[in-house]
Structure 1
Amino acid sequence: MCGIAGYLAFKPVGLENGTSTLKAMCDSIQHRGPDADGMFVDPDTGVALGQRRLAIVDLTETGEQPMTSPSGRYCIVYNGEIYGFLDLRQQLIDHGVTFRGTSDTEVLLASMDLWGIRKTLDLVHGMFAFAVLDRQSNRVVFARDRLGKKPLYLGVKGGHLLFGSELKALRAHPAFGTREADRRAQAQYARYAFIPAPLTIYQDVMKLPAGTMVEVQLDAPPVSSQDLVDGLRTFWDLRDRVEACRADPYGDETQALGGIEDALHSAVGERMVADVPVGTFLSGGIDSSLITAMMQEQAAGKVISFTVRFDHDATNEADYAAAIAKHLGTDHHEVTATPEMAFDLLQKLPQVYDEPFADPSAFPTLLVSQLARAQLKVVMSGDGGDESFGGYERYVRMMAMERIGAKLPGPAVSALAASPAFVTNAAAKVLRPLAPTSMRDQITPDRLAKVASIARHPDFRSRYDALFTLWNPPAANCQGVFQTHQLPDGLSSVDKMMLLDSELYLPESILVKADRASMSTGLEIRAPLLDYRVVEAAWRSPDSLRYNGKSGKVALRRLLDKRVPKALYDRPKQGFGIPLNDWLRGPLKSIASDVFASDNLVGEVFDRAQLNKRWSEHLSGTRNWGPHLWVVLMYHFWQEEWLR
C-alpha cells in the first residue's frame, strides 16, 4: 500500500525545517508509494508523520494520509491493508459512525475512536505497520501485524525517535549520525543470512517484532532503542494461539479440511477487494497453484499470472506453471532469468535490501515483481504454506537426522563432520547404492557432511539451530537465535520446527524478501496463507493433514486435487531459487573472487581461512558452498553501499 516515515523530536521544531526533514525521509522510500505523499508536522510537540502512497483502495483524496480520526484524537500513517474492513465499516455505521470516503484507513481510525487502539488491533486483520498520534494521552503508538508481513524500524538517535518502513528512511534524518554496525546483528546475519528482530544492522535501531506494539510518551523520551525493546507489548502471540488451537482441535479430518478450505477461500476473496486489478505469482508449486485456482474461481474474468523461467533444469518450474495456468485459464506471463541479469542486479540488491540479506531467491522475486508491476499494482503469493502446513524438505531431513543422531555413535558422527571433502565424497558413493531408489539423489557429499555436522549436537534445539547455521562468526560469541526462543510444551519435533519457522524464518527472511523486492517496484503482495485464521485452522487440524511423517502440506494437496490434475503439480519441491552453485563457478566467478580477496570482510564477520577453504572447494566442485558464499557476497555489497 505504501511506505511510512517520521520522527519524534520531543521538543518544538521549526515548521519549515521539520517539514523539509520529513520530506527527505519520505522521498527516500518513494518507490514504496509512487502515487502521492502526505506529511503532518506539529511544531509544538515535534511530532512528524509522513507517508508515500501506493493507491489501491479509495483512489481519491479521501484515502490520503496522514489521516485524522472523526473526533480529532488520533492521527495515523499506516502501511498495509486491512482485509474484511467492509464488515467492520458496517459495524461502525450501526454505531452511528459516518464516513467521508471508502478507505480502510478511515475504518481503522473510526474503530480507534470508538473502541481504542488495543481493541482495534484485536478486531482488524491483515498486513499493517502503523504510527498513530494519540493527542489525548500525549503518546505515539507503533504496531506491526500478527505474522510480520509489513516492516517497521524504530531508532533512537541524537535525542530523536526515528521510524520508517525501511532503514533508508531513518538514515535520511540528520540525527541518524554515524553508521555503526551492531556486532550482535553481524553475528546473526553470518549465521542465518538474515537479522532477526528486534535487532537491526545498526546500533540503537530496532525492528518491531511481529504481533507487537510499543507506546512512546511525548514527555518521556526513550534514551536508547533498548528502552523501546523493554516497552514492547504483544497483542497476538503465535505460541499462545498454537496452545489454544491444540486444546480445541477439529473433530476429524473432514471437518478440518472444510475449516481450512473455508478460511482460505475467505482470505483469498477478501484480498481480491481493491480499486485496481489484482494478479498472482504462479510458480507451479502447491501453494501458488491453490491460491491462483481459488482466485480464478472468484474472479469475474481471467486472472493475470506471472512466473520466472530459468534455463536450468534443477531450478526451472516455468513449464509446470504454464501448464497449470493453461488448465486454470489465467492470462499468463513469464520472464527468463539469466546470469547476466544476476550480475546487473548484484549492485542493486543492497539498495533494495538496505541491511545485509542473503536469500538467493531475492533475485527472481525482484525480477517477477518488475514483470508484474509493468501491468499491475497488486498480486497474490503463496507465502506461508510451508510454515503452517509442514512443507519444507528440511522437515523430512531433520527427522532423518534425528534418527541418525540416535543410532550412530557420537565419535563416528564427529569424525565424519570433521572429515575433508574427499572423505565425504567417498562415503556418499558407498552409501548411495545402499539407499532406497527414491532417496539416492538426496545422498550427496554436501548433505552427508551437513547431516554429520548437525547430528553431533546433543539436543533438538541445537541441532535445529545448526541446520540453519551457515557461518560461525569468529569474533562474536553469539548464541543461536533458534536456541533461545521458548516454545510451548508437548510439541512434536516437526511442530517445533514449524513454530520456530513461523516466528523467525518467515517474518525475518521470507517476508523481508517479498516486501522489499515487490515494494522496490511499487508492487503490493498479498498472501492469503498468512491470514491468521488460516494459520489457526492449520494448527487445529490433525497432524495427518499437515506433516504426516512422509510429506507435508497434505491438506493443501487435497484442496488442490479438487481443482488441478495431480500430474501437473505432484513432483518434488524445488523452491524458488537460482542455479547459484553453477553461476558462482561460471559467470559470477570473477566478481566473487575479487570480493573474497577483500580484507574488509575478515576478522569481525567472516574467518579468512574458512572462507578460502570453502571457495577453493566450491571452485573445484568437491563441495557446493553456494548459499554460504552468497552470504559473504551480499554482506560485501551491502557494506560498500551503506558503510562507506
Structure 2
Amino acid sequence: MPRHGRGCIFSRNRDPGVPRNLCVDPQHERRLMCGLTGLLRSSPRDDIIGQVARMTALLVHRGPDDEGVWSEGQIGLGHRRLAILDLSATGAQPMHSDCGRYVLAYNGEIYNHLDLRHVLEIEDAAPPWRGQSDTETLLAAIEHWGLDDALCRVHGMFAIALWDRSKQRLSLARDRMGEKPLYWGWAGKDLVFGSELKALRAHPDCSREVCRQALAQYLRFMYVPAPRSIHPGIYKLEPGTILTVDGAPPAEAPKEPIRPGEHHASLSIRRYWDLNAEIEAGAYNLIQDESEAVSTLGQVLGKAVQRQMISDVPLGAFLSGGVDSSAIVSLMQAQSARPVQTFTIGFDEAAFDESPHAAAVAQHLGTDHTKLRVTDADARELIPDLPQLYDEPFADSSQIPTHLVCRAARQHVTVALSGDGGDELFGGYNRYIRGPGLWQQLSQIPRPIRRLVGQAAQALPEHGWNKVGTAYNRIRTGGAGISDLGTKVHRLGERLRLTDSLDDLYRNMASTWIEPEMLIVGDVTEPSSQLDDPMPEFGAGDPALRMMAQDMRSYLPDDILCKVDRAAMGISLETRSPFLDPEVIALAMRLPMGMKIRNGQGKWVLRQVLYQHVPREIIDRPKVGFAIPIGLWLRGPLRDWAEDLLSHKRLAEDGLFNPDIIRQTWSEHLSGNWDWSARLWTILMFQAWHAAQAHA
C-alpha cells in the first residue's frame, strides 16, 4: 500500500503573525495549542476536505504553528499544531505510519516516547525514523503492539484519531485521566469529532440545541460530566477509553450516550485502562513501611517530573506555595542546572492572595520567580471572553485566576508544569479529611433531627461562623485549620436534609444546586453519571478513598483538567501534570489512607517528600482554594451585568429556566445575608454562553 495513497490532500500553513508572547486582545486570542478534528461519512463525497478544513480552522488557537488536513474516501482528519517536540516539518500531522496502513491526528505529549523508541529498536520493530516527534513514535508503537497495548505503555496526555486504511476502521482514544479533551457525535448523518465543541459546530448539521438533561447535570456540578455534552447527540469520550467505528458510521445517534462495554451498530466503546482495576491492584499490594513509602514516592514522582521536563521550547511551572505545586517545583529544581522559571499571581484582597507563600517557596528553592499583580478590574475584564474560551457552560469561578496565571506564564514559556491531581491522589480536600468522621456522627442521628441540625447550622450567619473558624485556626498548628468556615458550614447544613449515606453526603457536597431539575422548565429527570458507576469489589471500603475515586472519575477530568486545558490552550500554552503519570497513580493506590490523611491533615506522605526540600514552616497552613471574590463583585461592580442576565424577562424568554427560583436566590444574595455566588455563577455562565451561541 502506498504511504499516502490517492485522494490525500495536505495543507500546511505556518502563521508567522501569531506572537510568541501573550496576546491579550480577544480577537487575537481567538486566533491563537494542539487540536484535532475530523468526520466519517457513510460514503465518499467531494466536500469532505473543505468541511474538515473549516472545522480545523476554528482550532487555530490550540495550534498556531502548523495546520494539516487530509482525506481519503469517507474519512477526513484535521490538525492544528503547537510545536513542543521536533519543531521541524517531520512532526507535522495528520501523519502516516511507515507502512502506510495508519493515519493519525493526535493532540498531546508522550513523555516516554524515547524509551518506547528504544524498546521498538530492541524488538527490531522500529521503522526508519524520519524525525524526533512523539507522533511518529506513537504510530510505530501502534503498528507493532496494537492500539490497546501501545496506549497502556504510554506515559502521557493525549486525544487521538486513528484511521486504519486496511480495515477501514476509525478509532478515537483519550488518555487515562482525561487531560486532553475529545468530543464526538452526530452532525446529520456524519460522525464528527474534535478537541472542542466549536469545531463540531462548524459542521452545518451539528445540533446547537441545549440538552436539558445535560443542563440539569451542569447546574448540579458546575460542569457537564462525561459522557454528555451540552448538545444532544454530541458526547465527550470518557478517559481511558477507545471508541471504534468499523466501516460506515451508524445512521442515527443513540437515544442515550454509549458507555464503555456498549455498542451501537458499527460503533463500540471499550476501556484500555480502568481506575477500578488500579484501585484493586493497589489494595492487594499495599506499602506498609512509612520510610519505604516516602522514599518510593520521591523517586517515582521525581522520574515523572523529569520525563515531563523534556521540551524543545521554554518550560516553567505554576507555583502557588501550596503542597502540590511546591512539591513539583522542588523536584524540578533538584534536577535542573539553572533556576526553574515559576509563576504566580497576586490579588489586592489579602484573603485571596497566596503570592507571599509562593514567593517564600521560590526564594528558598532559588527559582526564577515571576509574580503578576492582578487587580479586580483585570479579572473582571476576562469575564466576557469566558464563553468563547470554555466553549461549553462551565462555572468553576477559579477559571478566572487560572487563565490569568496562564497569561503570566505564557509571556515567558510555552510549557508549564502544574500540581493538578495531587489533592485527589493524596487526600487533600477537606471532604476527604472530615467527611467520613462527620457522617459517622450524623448517621447515629435520626433523619428528622439531622434536618434540624442542618437548619441550626444555617441559623448563624456565615460571618459568624468565619469568626469561629478564625479562632479555631489559631489553636490548630501544622496547617490543619479550615478556611472560609461560614460558607462550608452553610453548604453542609443545607445538604443534611437529603443525606442518607456517605455517598449521598459526597454527592451533595459536590453539588451546587441540590435539586437542579426544579430550575428547568418541563419534566426533566437528571440522568446518571460516572458517579453512579460501581465501585471496585475490593479496596474501596475506606470512605475517604471512595470520595477520592469519585473525584478522579468526574471532578478531576471534567472540572479541574478541563479548566486548565481551556485556560492554557486558549493562549497556546501547554500544561503538564506529573501527578497524573501512570506510575504515580499506581503508587498512590498502594498507600494506605493513614499515609495520606493523618491528624486532621491531608497529603502526609507527599508532605514528607516536600519537607526534604522546603521547611515545613513555609508550607504548613490551612488549604485555600484558587478563588476570587465573586460574591462581592456580584453585589458591586458586576451587579448591572448580572442583573441583565438574570432579569425575569431574559430568563423566561428561552423557555429553559423557571425564573422565580433564580430571582429569589439573586435577591437573597444581594441582601448580604447569604452567599449564593456559586449558584448564581452557574446561571450567569450559562446565560452568557447561550447568548454568545445565539450570535455565533
One fold, TM greater than 0.5? yes
The answer to whether the aligner puts 1:468 opposite 2:519 as a matched pair is no
Do the aligned residues in 1 keep the contact of 2:221 with 2:512 (CA within 8 Å)? yes
CA distance in 1, matches of 2:51, 2:527: 39
Superposition pairs for residues 285-300 of structure 1, below 5 Å? 285-300=322-337
**Counterpart pick for 1:6 among 31, 38, 43:** 38
Give the 3-state SS of the residue equivalent to 1:197 in structure 2: coil
Q: Does 1:199 align with 2:228?
A: yes
Q: 1:447 aligns with which of 469, 488, 498?
A: 488
Matches within 5 A, 1:307-326: 307-326=344-363
- Structure 1, 308-317 or 503-512: larger mean CA deviation: 308-317
The aligned residue for residue 287 of structure 2 is 250
Does residue 182 of structure 1 match 2:233? Answer: no
Q: Which residue of 2 aligns with 1:25?
A: 55
TM-score of the superposition, structure 2-length normalised? 0.87
Distance 2:534 2:583 in 1: 23
Q: CA 1:111–1:423 in structure 2 vs 1: closer, same or farther (change >3 Å)?
A: closer
AA in 2 matched with 1:32: R
Matched position secondary structure for 2:346: strand
Q: Secondary structure at the match of 1:320?
A: helix
Displacement of 1:549: 5.3
Check conservation: 1:284, 1:324, Cα contact below 8 A.
yes
Paired with 1:576 and 1:393, the residues of 2 have a C-alpha distance of 15
Q: Is the 8 A contact 1:361 1:576 kept in 2?
A: yes
Query: 3-state DSSP class of the match of 2:352?
Result: coil
Q: CA deviation at 1:427?
A: 8.9
State yes or no: 1:363 paired with 2:393.
Answer: no
Q: Provide the residue aligned with 1:617 in structure 2.
A: 668
Q: How does 1:24-103 map to 2 (within 5 A)?
A: 24-42=54-72, 45-96=73-124, 97=126, 98-103=128-133
- Residue in structure 1 matched with residue 6 of structure 2 by the alignment: none
Query: Is the 1:190–1:606 Cα contact (8 Å) retained in structure 2?
Result: no
Secondary structure of 1:232's partner?
strand
For structure 1, list consecutive stretches of 5 or more residues without a partner in the other structure. Answer: none
Distance 2:140 2:154 in 1: 12
Q: 1:587 aligns with which of 622, 630, 637?
A: 637
Evaluate the alpha carbon distance shift between residue 605 and residue 499 of structure 1 in structure 2; reply closer, same or farther with a 3 A threshold: farther
Post-superposition shift, 1:432?
Answer: 7.7
Shift of 1:222: 5.0
Find 1:570's aligned residue among 620, 623, 628: 620
Distance 1:532 1:587 in 2: 45
- The count of aligned residue pairs is 639
1:628 matches 2:657: no
Letter in 2 for 1:153: Y
C-alpha deviation, 1:577, in angstroms = 1.4
The answer (yes or no) to whether the contact 1:401–1:454 under 8 Å persists in 2 is no
- Alignment of structure 1 residues 226-375 onto 2, 5 Å: 226=256, 229=259, 230=262, 231-375=268-412
Pairwise CA distance, 1:595: 1.7
Query: Mapping of 1:426-441 within 5 angstroms?
Result: 437-438=475-476
2:532 corresponds to: 484
Q: Is the 8 A contact 1:445 1:623 kept in 2?
A: no
Among candidates 114, 123, 139, match of residue 109 of structure 1:
139
8 A Cα contact 1:340 1:587, kept in partner: no
Matches within 5 A, 1:398-547: 398-417=435-454, 437-438=475-476, 445-456=486-497, 457-471=499-513, 472-473=515-516, 474=518, 475=520, 476-478=524-526, 481=529, 484-489=532-537, 490-547=540-597
- What secondary structure, in the 3-state scheme, does the structure 1 residue paired with 2:162 have? strand
Q: Deviation of residue 500 (structure 1)?
A: 0.3
The one-letter amino acid paired with 1:591 is W
Query: 2:43 touches 2:248 (CA, 8 Å); kept in 1?
Result: no
2:10 aligned partner: none
Q: Closer, same or farther in 2 for the Cα pair 1:417/1:612, shift >3 Å?
A: farther
Q: Distance in 1 between matches of 2:341 and 2:151?
A: 33
1:409 Cα deviation from its structure 2 partner: 4.2
1:130 aligns with 2:160: yes
Q: Is the 8 A contact 2:457 2:493 kept in 1?
A: no
- The 8 Å contact of residues 465 and 480 in structure 1, kept in 2 or not, is answered as no
- CA–CA distance in 2 between the matches of 1:506 and 1:201? 19
SS of 2:351's partner is coil
Q: Which residue of structure 2 lines up, in the alignment, with residue 219 of structure 1?
A: 248
Q: Is the 8 A contact 2:213 2:527 kept in 1?
A: no
- Decide which moves more: 286-295 or 587-596: 587-596
- Per-residue deviation, 1:590: 2.0
Matched AA of 1:634: M
- Aligned residues of 1:185 and 1:195 also touching (Cα < 8 A): yes
- Displacement of 1:449 in angstroms is 3.0
C-alpha change, 1:149 and 1:442, in structure 2 (3 Å) is: closer
Tell me how far 1:405 sits from its aligned partner: 1.6
SS at match of 2:107: strand
User: Which stretch shifts more, 604-613 or 462-471?
Assistant: 604-613
Equivalent position amino acid for 1:612 in 2: R
* Contact 1:424-1:448 at 8 Å conserved across structures: no
Alpha-carbon distance in 2 for matches of 1:434, 1:62: 61
CA distance in 2, matches of 1:235, 1:545: 29
SS of corresponding position for 1:50 = strand
Root mean square deviation, CA, Å: 2.4
CA distance, structure 1, for counterparts of residue 545 and residue 486 of structure 2: 28
Structure 2 counterpart of 1:163: 193
Query: CA contact under 8 A between 1:462 and 1:483: conserved in structure 2?
Result: no
Instruction: Tell me, yes or no, if the aligned pair for 1:193 and 1:631 is still in contact at 8 Å.
Output: yes
Q: Identify the match of residue 150 of structure 2 among 103, 120, 131.
A: 120
The 5 Å alignment of 1:549-560 reads 550-560=600-610
Q: TM-score, normalised by structure 1?
A: 0.94
- What is the deviation of 1:228? 5.1
Offset at residue 223 of structure 1 (A):
2.1
Provide Cα deviations, 1:572-606, integer angstroms capped at 9, x if missing partner. Answer: 11111112222222221221122221434359655
Q: Residues 284 and 100 of structure 1: is their aligned pair in 2 closer, same or farther, counting only changes over 3 Å?
A: same
Counterpart contact for 2:669–2:677, Cα < 8 Å = yes
Range 283-292 or range 445-454, more displaced: 445-454
319-328 or 600-609: bigger deviation:
600-609
Identity %, equivalent residues: 40
Larger displacement relative to structure 2 (322-331 or 446-455): 446-455
Runs of at least 5 residues in structure 2 that lack an aligned partner in the other structure: 1-32, 263-267
After superposition, the Cα gap between the structure-2 partners of 1:372 and 1:425, relative to the gap in structure 1 and judged at 3 Å, is: closer
Judge conservation of contact 1:253–1:542 (CA < 8 Å) in 2: no
SS at match of 1:233: strand
CA distance in 2, matches of 1:429, 1:204: 45
Three-state SS of the structure 1 residue aligned to 2:76 is strand
Distance 1:313 1:408, change over 3 A: farther
CA distance in 1, matches of 2:381, 2:509: 31
Seen in structure 2, the aligned counterparts of structure 1 residues 86 and 183 have a Cα distance that, compared at 3 Å, is same
Could you tell me how far apart the structure 2 residues matched to 1:501 and 1:222 are? 35
- Give, in whole Å, the separation in 2 of the partners of 1:204 and 1:47: 20
Give a deviation string over 1:530-581, Cα, whole Å, max 9, x none: 1121111111012222122511111111111000111211111111111222
Q: Shift in Å at residue 67 of structure 1?
A: 0.5
